Amino acid sequence: MLIAVVKKETDDNTIFKISISLRKLLESNGNLPIKQSYDKIATTANIRKATVSNTFNAKSVPNSLTLFLIIEAMGFSLIDFSKVYDSIVTSDIELFKKKLAEQPRNTKK
């Protein structure tokens, strides 16, 4: 049972680290608002905007191809991504979780 708990925590931290890394790269890359950036990334990578949004908001784990496409569509290399990813510490993850929890839910009517 303990192994399952540790694995889930590790998986969750990986999801958050991916999202944080992508957001940091996006922030360093330009002046477009987030919505337009997601549109541009999705169009350039030829993937759904929802996939981009879910990846940036830690709602799903991207497969490796999707992650590579997003990184390249943003104009970065896997090396750029991995440098940011490796620099993320537990306090970054906790702060990110708090910010996600504070975001208003997007409800469709």
Cα dihedral: 17, 76, 55, 86 (round 10): -10
pLDDT in tens, the chain (109 residues): 445 444 555 577 899 999 999 999 998 877 666 667 899 999 999 999 999 999 999 999 999 999 999 999 999 999 999 999 999 999 999 999 999 888 776 544 3
Structure tokens at 92: 């970054």
CATH number at residue 84: 1.10.260
Domain, as residue range, for 90? 31-99
Quick check: is 54 in a domain? yes
Quick check: is 95 in a domain? yes
DSSP character for 103? Answer: S
Q: How many domains does the chain have?
A: 1
Quick check: is 12 in a domain? no
Quick check: is 58 in a domain? yes
pLDDT of 29? 76
User: In the Cβ-directed half-sphere of 88, how many Cα atoms lie within 13 Å?
Assistant: 22
Give pTM, 2 decimals: 0.82
Please check whether residue 60 is in contact with residue 54, taking contact to mean a CB–CB distance below 8 angstroms.
yes
